[in-house]
Chains A and B, each alone.
Chain A
Amino acid sequence: MNERIVEKLSSLGQDVVESSQEFRGDLTVALKTETIVSACMLLRDDPELAFDMLIDLTAVDRYRPEARFEVVYHLYSLKNRHYLSLKVHTNEDHPEVPSVTGVWPAANWHERETFDMFGIKFTGHPDMRRLYMPEEFEYYPLRKDFPLMGVPDSLPLPRR
């Protein structure tokens, strides 16, 4: 199954699949950032693979100069009962990744949460607001340079 997935994704173009690895039986495929939407379309609509559910979407802050953020997608196929992880990366200066809300509407809140926590903008998202933190909060809490204790006075106290 895992070989077929890599094979199909490679058919999209020469440099679409950057790398793929298996750890504890789970496949993770790193893709070129611009191709994520077309790759997701292919995985969803292909009758053999049929990854019809987006289970989770999140990001990892690698805290390195190049390609600081990784966005991770966890897909599930009801037909094959199979999980797949996809990965794209983006840099610190312009953290932008194409939105997959057009492929699975489930991505809506996941992408909002990722934006809230990491400041990664998902281009083409219909409602790019913060999910948990207040709108006027100007930091991104899950970035590695955000301190665990928080930033003093970053949130106003309730008005009396």
Chain B
Amino acid sequence: MAARSLDEPRRSQILAALEDQDTTVIVDDPLDNTMVLNMGPQHPATHGVLRLLIKLDGETVVAAVPELGYLHRGYEKIAENSSYHEFIPHTDRLDYLSPLSNNVAYVLAVEKLLGVEVPRRAQYIRVLICEMARIASHLVATGSMGMDVGALTVLLWTFREREKLLDIFDVLCGARFTTSYTRIGGLQQDWTAQTTAMLWQFLGEFDKNLDEVQSLLQTNRIFIDRCENVGYLSRENAIAWGLTGPPLKAAGVPRDLRRDVPYLVYHELDFDVITFTESDALARFYVRLAEMRESAKILKQALDKLPEGPYNAFAAKHVLPPKERTYTRMEELIHDFMLINLGINPPVGEVYQGVESSKGELGFYIVSDGTGQPWRMKIRSPSTCNLSVLPLMLKGGMLSDIVAVIGSMDPVMGEADK
């Protein structure tokens, strides 16, 4: 209001100072009732460094334009300049809420390229870590979505559960976040009786604790009112825009790669693919809650079925030998030296491998020219694709709906920006 009463030169001076150096917003008539609002990249409800330019008519969103790239680190370029093993730690930093499933997705793609079959014990352990990562990620999504619309307690309760899972990761591979647990052809170290006991203890109380979380929200009038019928997207649009994961399932499309294009040992396990038809923020929230229960079901079956045996494939030219043998045997020392210095040299060819991560389809497309470094590697990140429909979802909604919609899409910018 104060700006209106200022004289013209002073006002244009202020406008010029307010203007961001990177983006020029052209306002034809500043006294018109549409207004351009910049949200992010430093906004707490944008889950990282997502930036939105929003055009408002009163409190109604006329148009929204997402801007990406604030966390772009050029991982695809780094991949072209590092060996296949060297890239595993980088996958932790993609979707940093579920690093274990990124580790698995990447090595599955490389193993498909190599044609290496992993022992059954390693496959079961990979299923276990993928599902633990899914629960951990969905717990954050549920909690932060509650926080975004004003229910702070939920965040604390879901983080308490997630903390128990992170403790298991810590015992399993020595790190809570940057796990780098998988290796090409197997795993870094074996699953132990201690992790089994910890996981059983977690699973024993998880259903009850999740019920408590759910009861906090599902009868919460404010939560329901702010999420119901918000951020609607039709089933046809969800398919055409290439959505995957919980947003697609909430739109009524039962697409789950674990069932549709089975990898690892998911075809031996019994679970349901959750779908809702409402396709609003609330439906996405319920999909995640139900998916966590399904993941707990898978975890219990996988723990029961976990076979004994080796956890690394026997393929001396591609798989790193065990450390104690490298130190004591000539043959293994030579192979270790060659694998570290020259790489695994897969055959010439190109593969695409997608897995159902917690955000949707996480895929790696690798082009090999036969040398130790990939010629090209593309990361198909689910967060990018899910974010691309934001303009459609936000248009016509209210300003306060934006945080609920972003919370329900659960983007992770480390993955969206690569």
A interface vs B, CB < 8 Å? 23-24, 26, 28, 52-56, 58, 60-61, 72, 74, 78, 81, 83, 85, 104-106, 108-109, 113, 117, 130-135, 141-142, 146, 148, 158-159
> Of A55, A113, A130, which contacts B242 at CB under 8 A?
A55
Q: Answer whether A56 and B380 are a contact pair too, CB < 8 Å, given A74-B363, A105-B240.
A: yes
Q: Which residues of A contact B255 (CB under 8 A)?
A: 78
Q: What's the least CB distance linking B247 to chain A, in Å?
A: 13
Tell me if B355 is interfacial: C-beta within 8 Å of chain A.
no
Contact B112 A24 (CB under 8 A): yes
Q: Which residues of B contact A26 (CB under 8 A)?
A: 351-352
Contact A24 B76 (CB under 8 A): no
Q: Which residues of A contact B21 (CB under 8 A)?
A: 158-159
Contact B115 A24 (CB under 8 A): yes
Q: What's the least CB distance linking B10 to chain A, in Å?
A: 21
Contact B385 A81 (CB under 8 A): no
Q: Which residue on A lies nearest to B261, using beta carbons?
A: A81
Alpha-carbon distance between A114 and B252 when the two chains are bound, in angstroms: 30
B interface vs A, CB < 8 Å? 21-22, 68-69, 72, 74, 76-78, 80-81, 112-113, 115, 237, 239-242, 253, 255, 260-261, 349-352, 354, 361, 363, 365, 367, 375-376, 378, 380, 384-385, 388, 417-418
Contact B77 A148 (CB under 8 A): yes
Contact A106 B385 (CB under 8 A): yes
Interface hub of B78, B113, B241, B354 (most chain A Cβ within 10 A): B241
Q: What's the least CB distance linking A73 to chain B, in Å?
A: 11
Give 30 pairs: A residue, B residue, CB < 8 Å, sorted on A. A23-B349, A24-B113, A24-B115, A53-B239, A55-B354, A56-B363, A58-B365, A60-B367, A72-B350, A72-B365, A72-B378, A74-B363, A78-B253, A83-B352, A104-B241, A105-B240, A106-B240, A106-B385, A109-B384, A109-B385, A113-B384, A117-B76, A131-B68, A132-B69, A132-B418, A133-B69, A135-B22, A142-B80, A142-B376, A148-B78
Alpha-carbon distance between A135 and B20 when the two chains are bound, in angstroms: 14
Q: What's the least CB distance linking A28 to chain B, in Å?
A: 7
Interface hub of B22, B365, B378 (most chain A Cβ within 10 A): B378
Q: Answer whether A148 and B350 are a contact pair too, CB < 8 Å, given A24-B112, A56-B380, A60-B375.
A: no
Alpha-carbon distance between A141 and B147 when the two chains are bound, in angstroms: 38
Alpha-carbon distance between A61 and B350 when the two chains are bound, in angstroms: 14
Question: Interface of chain B, helix or strand or loop or mixed?
Answer: mixed
Q: Which residues of A contact B237 (CB under 8 A)?
A: 105
Q: What's the least CB distance linking B320 to chain A, in Å?
A: 22
Q: Which residues of B contact A141 (CB under 8 A)?
A: 74, 77
Q: What's the least CB distance linking B391 to chain A, in Å?
A: 10
Alpha-carbon distance between A142 and B418 when the two chains are bound, in angstroms: 13
Q: Answer whether A78 and B261 are a contact pair too, CB < 8 Å, given A23-B350, A23-B351, A106-B385.
A: no
Q: Which residues of B contact A109 (CB under 8 A)?
A: 384-385, 388
Alpha-carbon distance between A89 and B378 when the two chains are bound, in angstroms: 17
Alpha-carbon distance between A137 and B182 when the two chains are bound, in angstroms: 37
Q: Answer whether A85 and B375 are a contact pair too, CB < 8 Å, given A105-B241, A109-B385.
A: no
Q: Which residue on A lies nearest to B351, using beta carbons?
A: A24
Q: What's the least CB distance linking B117 to chain A, in Å?
A: 12
Contact A108 B376 (CB under 8 A): no
Q: Which residues of A contact B384 (CB under 8 A)?
A: 109, 113
Q: What's the least CB distance linking A33 to chain B, in Å?
A: 19
